[in-house]
Amino acid sequence: MLVIDLPGSTLVSVEEEQQHRCSNMAGERALAVKVRHSTSNLADANTDMYNTSDLVLRRGQSFLLTLEFTMPIEDWQSIVFNVQTEPLTAFTCQLFNIKHVEFALSNSWTSGMWCAVLESRPGNNLQIIMSSPANAIIGRYNISVSISIMGETTTYSLGKFILLFNPWCLDDDVYMANEDERKEYVLNDHGIIFMGNEKHVSQLGWNYGQFENNILNICMDILDRNLNYYNDPVSDCSRRNSPVYVGRVVSAMINSNEDFGVLEGKWDKDFADGVDPNSWNGSVEILWSWQKDDYKPVKYGQCWVFAAVMCTVLRCLGIPTRVITNFNSAHNTDGNMNVDMHYDTEGKFLEIHDDSIWNFHVWNECWFLRRDIGYFYSGWQVLDSTPQEESQGVHRCGPTSVIAVKEGDVNLGYDTPFVFAEVNADRVTWIVHKDGSKEKAYTDSKFVGQCISTKAIGSDARVDVTHNYKFPEGSPQEREVFEKASQYMSFYKTPLEITNFSHSTVESRTRDEQPAQPTPALTARSLLNPLLTSYTGNTLPSIPERNTLPPVDERNTMPSMSARNGLPPRPGRNGLPSRSERNGLPSRPGRNAFSPERRAFSPGRNAFSPERSAFSPERRPFSPERRAFSPERSAFSPERSAFSPERNAFTPERNAFSPARRAFSPDRNAFSPESSAGHAAPTIPDPEIPDISGKFKILGPLVVGDDINLILLLKNLTPFHKPIKVNLSASCILYTGRRLADIFTDQKSLVISPSQDAHVSVQIPYSQYQECLNNGNRIQVVALCELPVGNKVLITKDLVLENPPIYIKIRVHPVVAVLKKKMKFVSLVDPTRRQIRFRNPLSVPVKDCSLLVEGSGLVDRQLTAVVPFLKPKEKIRFKVELTPYRSGTKQLIVNFRCKYFSIKGYKQLDVASS
């Protein structure tokens, strides 16, 4: 009999039993092998919450085995254990010549390896302490024992177990020292997601449910169904010891853009063939649906749903994870750190560019070491599964070091430039005229990346973590970091990515480059066994600390123009020595490579010099080598080449040094075919200070079903009378900024006295936004102010309308308590009656309504009640009776939805053990 037991526990009734019979050389004796474990045996491993019949362990932690034999085991008899990751079948191991991880029963402890140590031997039994290395591969395992008696070896299967990351183990890369943080970011099965906008932050309760029935097995299926596994299963399994790799795999698998991932994204208003993302209350129903429907993507999800599901999966695997909301989140597609927003002359938003600014965007942070880029960048890492941009050919993002984002180290992997732009990009607003010409309205460097938020430890309070991502806006450090990142990103349109799939290899790849797959022989012999058996001692491989990576020689990263066109390198202009050679410096290979020495202001280089500005025949003639890059540029043009006094003569305005002219500009200096062809990109100056200013002021609460009342406040900043034409418009929008429908337009004309204010009233009736308002309840109001002379002024305001409240009462026996600020203790065995009250806020009837109720530890399946019809202003009550089945702090989530609104509420209660 084999009994699996953890230290300090007591055995209870048998929950799992496997029996195998065989014969040995001594005769027909039968040896029975039994595997027993119970939920209480897993408490020390912090895995007793998983609702599964499988044995769940954490790597780097020892556990007790008791082997019971039918006859005594002598010292000369050999006992060898064998562990193997389950996805690697016997055929796969034979095909790639992979040996199982074998380790013999020993009398001494070996650190950092799979080992089994004899603890005691009472009677025919052997009590053995077994341990896995702290960097072992996570996933499903098969375990067996081979016993050699008188020259014959017999192998017995001891069953299966699941090995997870271990934040409680000091040597694990995901180790987290604070117990309260471990409870929040690993063990908490519910949480809060922040939404809305930076001026109106709302809370959404979410049921993560990582310990619910079958969720752990589904998380294992996510790992076994990723593209890397299908392409090279051996290589994929060998890398699952790294939280960097596992996090990147999960980031790709939560969306379904390139594979059969969990969720399909949709940013629209029509979800008839699926589920409106606003209707989800938790991750459990989504993961169950994915498995039940033969692993077809579940329809539909948006950013907070992607982030919440990934939080469930990563916490289930043992990686400390939290959900982050970034308000005014930039989506910069071209890497120039500017997000361009376009409006027409009536103030309507135009979707003519891929850039966008979302009212909010939700991603995840995970806690682990960064052995690949240096320990300095360890800690919180950004992972984003919302399919926005491709990373190495797959829609995924991260892990990106939060420290690297704050320091502007955008050359580090993964996807650091993209995350840096999400929290730091400048918003540039343009007005597009009817003839297609554009006029810059303003540039705002402080709008993006505000109120970056997450849930507090042990409460539902909001914690602002903006300071983790960037220095204070406008501070010298913030500007310095921004300029450093901008310069790098402008010269490397496909930024460098440093990837690492083993502890000893650092590779450099571009963001869009497909990762090279190792050969089967290399993978089988060099990757799998070393990672399974871990390190042989306590000494870790040498990992570069911060700033110890090889420096990038930015002057030697681009080929010269001659080399790009297949021409031999030129020594200098017109055959003369190059400027570098004339000054005793090494030749520079490329014209466009960034060089601090080249770009830095030099009085000798920029100051006016008669010899330099005067026309020089030797300097101006056409040079085929110099002009070879562009046929249009190389073509001889008499008008262009001929001497022109107006063109070459000295003018103070043209030659005098101008900081604005000489200052580094990504658009001006960045390499592009157009600029290399001789067509310099025009630099559009920022608009002058406007003559008027304005803002919208909200009158009264913004509630679904009520009219919207605002006032536009305008102020004349000059000592002159100012006639103004105001174009007003309003649109229902998504949280991504996309316009759904125009609901209001108006035009006003007025004259503002010198240094005086003026008010313009705006009223939008409910009837005008009733049909087009989406579940995000977002409306954007725009005022475009035109003056006879001077720049136009654009004023915008994003509104978020509140849903009516939903009330939850809890009745425990005869006691009734409204759970608002205090908690109610409920016995685990007592049935609990819950009363839910709601009132239709509209003056029109609603139909086809439903009420959804769920909560881990409170409801094993989502409860649904159908309400066919609800009269205007009618009140309704629901009574739900259930029995909690798990103790601890739990969250009840209620969602009432219909065509015109979706109202959610949540309450917390403590469930005491019986």
Strand pairing category for 125-131 and 115-120? antiparallel
Give the active site residue among 259, 384, 415, 691.
384
Distances (CA, A) of 166 to 176, 220, 371, 537: 9, 16, 17, 19
Which residues, at least 6 apart from 273, have a Cβ–Cβ distance to it below 8 Å? 299
Give the number of residues written for the chain.
914
Strand pairing category for 807-812 and 200-207? unpaired
> What does the alpha-carbon distance between residue 464 and residue 447 come to, in Å, rounded to a whole number?
16
> What does the alpha-carbon distance between residue 59 and residue 23 come to, in Å, rounded to a whole number?
34
| Known catalytic residue at 303 | yes
| Known catalytic residue at 384 | yes
Q: CB–CB of 330/296 below 8 Å?
A: no
> What does the alpha-carbon distance between residue 169 and residue 134 come to, in Å, rounded to a whole number?
7
> What does the alpha-carbon distance between residue 157 and residue 519 come to, in Å, rounded to a whole number?
31
> Which of 834, 201, 111, 94 is CA-nearest to residue 463?
201
> Which of 618, 761, 791 is CA-nearest to residue 693?
791
Q: CB–CB of 282/206 below 8 Å?
A: yes
Terminal alpha carbon distance of the chain: 33
**Paired residues of 423 in beta bridges:** none
Q: CB–CB of 205/891 below 8 Å?
A: yes
Interhelix angle 476-491/416-424, rounded to 10 degrees, is: 130
Q: How many CA atoms lie within 13 A of 139 on its CB side?
A: 26
Only one residue has tokens 């950004």, namely 382
**C-beta neighbour count of 11 within 10 angstroms:** 14
Structure tokens belonging to residue 355? 């850039």
> What does the alpha-carbon distance between residue 825 and residue 812 come to, in Å, rounded to a whole number?
9
> Which of 476, 516, 511 is CA-nearest to residue 495?
511
| Peptide bond between residue 300 and the one before it cis (omega within 30 degrees of 0) | yes
Give the active site residue among 115, 169, 303, 732.
303
CB burial string 235-252: b at 16+ within 10 A, e below: bbbbbbbbbbbbbbbbbb
Q: CB–CB of 215/209 below 8 Å?
A: yes
Interhelix angle 243-254/303-317, rounded to 10 degrees, is: 140
| Known catalytic residue at 813 | no
Distances (CA, A) of 586 to 460, 556, 571, 578: 61, 11, 12, 10
Phi/psi-derived region of residue 586, left when phi > 0, alpha when psi is between -120 and 50, beta in every other case: beta
Give the active site residue among 190, 342, 361, 503.
361
Q: CB–CB of 300/911 below 8 Å?
A: no
Catalytic residue list: 303, 361, 384
